[in-house]
């Protein structure tokens, strides 16, 4: 991967992005973020694993069904 560049920063959230240099998906950005979530770890995991709730935290989502690992 290339160097991480600060894509955005707010009061409570930091976001960085980069792109893979080679391999499948190199044309898509890779994003990492850091911030505080006012919820238990279990609540966050449950939210992220439930594809029917993706539009709660991702307003750009089309609501696709994602199979669990």
pTM of the model: 0.44
Mean pLDDT confidence for 33-58: 83
E-strand ranges in the chain read 5-9, 13-19, 29-35
Residue 9 confidence (pLDDT): 60
Mean pLDDT confidence for 30-50: 85
Residue 42 confidence (pLDDT): 93
Residues of the chain with pLDDT > 70, as a percent, come to 70
Residue 7 confidence (pLDDT): 60
Distances (CA, A) of 12 to 34, 36, 38, 48, 66: 8, 7, 12, 20, 29
Mean pLDDT confidence for 17-34: 79
């Amino acid at each position: 991967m290339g160097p991480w560049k600060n894509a955005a920063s707010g009061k409570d959230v930091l976001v960085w992005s980069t792109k893979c240099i080679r391999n499948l998906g190199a044309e898509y950005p890779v994003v990492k973020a850091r911030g505080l979530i006012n919820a238990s770890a279990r609540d966050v995991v449950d939210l992220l694993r439930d594809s029917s709730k993706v539009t709660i935290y991702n307003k750009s989502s089309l609501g696709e069904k994602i199979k669990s690992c």
